[in-house]
Amino acid sequence: MVGAGPDSVLRSATRIVVKVGSSLVTDGGRGLDTEAITRWADQIATLHSAGRRAMLVSSGAVAEGMKRLGLARRPHEMHELQACAAVGQMGLVQVYESSFRSHGLRTAQVLLTHADLVDRNRYLNARSTLLTLLNYGVVPIVNENDTVVTDEIKFGDNDTLAALVANLTDAHCLVILTDQAGLYTADPRRHDDARLLGTAEAGDPALEAMAGGAGSLIGKGGMITKVLAAKRAARSGAHTIIASGHEPDVLLRLAAGERIGSELRATMPRMAARKQWLADHLQLRGSVRLDDGAVGAIARQRKSLLPIGVTEVIGEFRRGEVVACLDSAGHEVARGLINYSSADTRRIMRRASSEIERLLGFVEEPELIHRDNMVLR
């Protein structure tokens, strides 16, 4: 469905992340759809010839592995799923490589885990690699490294991974292609008055309620992850388009300015890279609960967190790890790099910074979390 109004946000984008849903590349889970992948390659090659650079986040490895191994049902055991991913990844890369090679384009396989992005050095290494590939004119094919990933380090879905790649590379636009026309105000299969949203603001809480509210089949089908991915991508200034991958030449039409699907526009201030990295930590090492005075100081006055404002330490963490700052009701108000371990934090909480050396025998920093190493939620 085509929306009315101004040009698509993709028209002015020169660095793009395209996420293709598994239902689009696996022929409904029956293995890789070579013809569909060829169509994506054709469109991206055309964009490339116009000076645009695209990164492709693609699912499909597990489904292809199942087909190659002759499995009729998706396994439940982690090691069996990882084996399917390992076998299927060969086919996934082979199809993309041959499809792009016909256009004279080179591709690169980039497999990531959450651990690659929570570690600052590995985050920067991944960023440098992707940007270098783009500079070489290579099309990165990005996927989660399912062969080694565990529940503790999973991104959870490729929508989240695609948003993080957009953040990582300062992309201008994230295009999420799915089997739905876009984001609706309600489940169109159950509500005759449901309408397709043409344009909205990424991060608007109403979108999350709309996509994943009680009784929403769309939310269960994955639309909530797309809305949250748009919110995450917007932190680095990237707009998001959610559109049907069944639309003919959808990428080329969007690039020409046509409005297709739903545009979730980035309107929030662009974060500094370091704070963006902090905001995108999906898994935290622990948390500290704050009194009302400390919450006000960091949330409204943008001050650093001092030990005296902490009322409880939750979990175990080391100096330099990312922890959440909770209000008295348990809601996260900020997160940041903590200057003291959980054990040391318990010893100095509710105390003035001037007492740290007496209590610990040393002083790392007077602040528990410095405002430069903190991001509000």
Q: Are residues 259 and 330 in the same domain?
A: no
Q: Are residues 17 and 158 in the same domain?
A: yes
Q: Are residues 243 and 193 in the same domain?
A: yes
Q: Are residues 63 and 181 in the same domain?
A: yes
Q: Is residue 2 part of a domain?
A: no
Token output for 321? 């790890």
Between CA 91 and CA 65 the distance in angstroms is 8
95 pLDDT above the threshold of 90: yes
CA distances from 249 to 36, 38, 46, 141, 253 (A): 11, 12, 11, 20, 6
Q: Is residue 1 part of a domain?
A: no
Residue 160: in which H helix or E strand, if any?
Answer: helix 158-169
Type of residue at 206: A
Q: Are residues 14 and 103 in the same domain?
A: yes
Place of tokens 């499809």: 99
Between CA 123 and CA 126 the distance in angstroms is 5
Q: Is 240 exposed, middle or buried (0-12, 13-18, 19+ CB in 10 A)?
A: buried
Q: Are residues 183 and 332 in the same domain?
A: no
Between CA 13 and CA 253 the distance in angstroms is 13
Q: Which pLDDT score, from 0 to 100, does residue 190 have?
A: 78
Q: Which pLDDT score, from 0 to 100, does residue 194 have?
A: 83
User: Across the chain, what does the average pLDDT equal?
Assistant: 87
Q: Is residue 290 part of a domain?
A: yes
Shortest CA distance to 239 belongs to which of 213, 217, 264? 264
**Of 223, 241, 275, the domain-final residue:** 275
CA distances from 305 to 124, 297, 302, 345 (A): 26, 8, 9, 12
Q: Are residues 185 and 293 in the same domain?
A: no
Question: For 218-230, how does the pLDDT look when each residue is reduced to its tens digit (9 = 90+)?
Answer: 333 478 889 999 9
Q: Are residues 156 and 97 in the same domain?
A: yes
Between CA 28 and CA 343 the distance in angstroms is 51
The mean pLDDT value for 246-253 works out to: 95
Which segment of 52-61, 117-126, 259-268 scores lowest on mean pLDDT?
117-126
Q: Is residue 54 part of a domain?
A: yes
> 225 vs 104, which has greater pLDDT?
104
55: CATH? 3.40.1160.10
Band (pLDDT 50/70/90 cuts) for residue 22 is: confident
Q: Are residues 256 and 353 in the same domain?
A: no
Domain range spanning residue 362?
284-376
Q: Are 43 and 33 in contact (CB under 8 A)?
A: no
Q: Is residue 365 part of a domain?
A: yes
32 pLDDT above the threshold of 90: no
Question: For 189-213, how does the pLDDT look when each residue is reduced to its tens digit (9 = 90+)?
Answer: 777 888 899 999 998 888 888 876 4
Sign of CA dihedral 73, 151, 290, 346: positive
**Of 216, 248, 275, the domain-final residue:** 275
Q: Is residue 208 part of a domain?
A: yes
Q: Are residues 94 and 173 in the same domain?
A: yes
215 pLDDT above the threshold of 60: no
Choose from 223-237, 257-271, 326-340 the range with maximum mean pLDDT. Answer: 326-340
Q: Is residue 294 part of a domain?
A: yes
Question: For 65-80, how does the pLDDT look when each residue is reduced to its tens digit (9 = 90+)?
Answer: 888 999 988 888 888 8
**Of 258, 275, 292, the domain-final residue:** 275
Q: Are 143 and 59 in contact (CB under 8 A)?
A: yes
Q: Are 336 and 313 in contact (CB under 8 A)?
A: no
Q: Are residues 253 and 128 in the same domain?
A: yes
Which segment of 43-52, 247-256, 364-373 scores lowest on mean pLDDT?
364-373
Band (pLDDT 50/70/90 cuts) for residue 179 is: confident
Q: Which pLDDT score, from 0 to 100, does residue 43 have?
A: 97
Q: In total, how many domains does the chain have?
A: 2
The mean pLDDT value for 349-363 works out to: 96
335: CATH? 2.30.130.10
The DSSP secondary structure of 85-121, one letter per residue, reads HHHHHHHHHHHHHHHHHTTT--EEEEEE-HHHHHSHH
Q: Are residues 60 and 90 in the same domain?
A: yes
236 pLDDT above the threshold of 90: no
Q: Is residue 3 part of a domain?
A: no
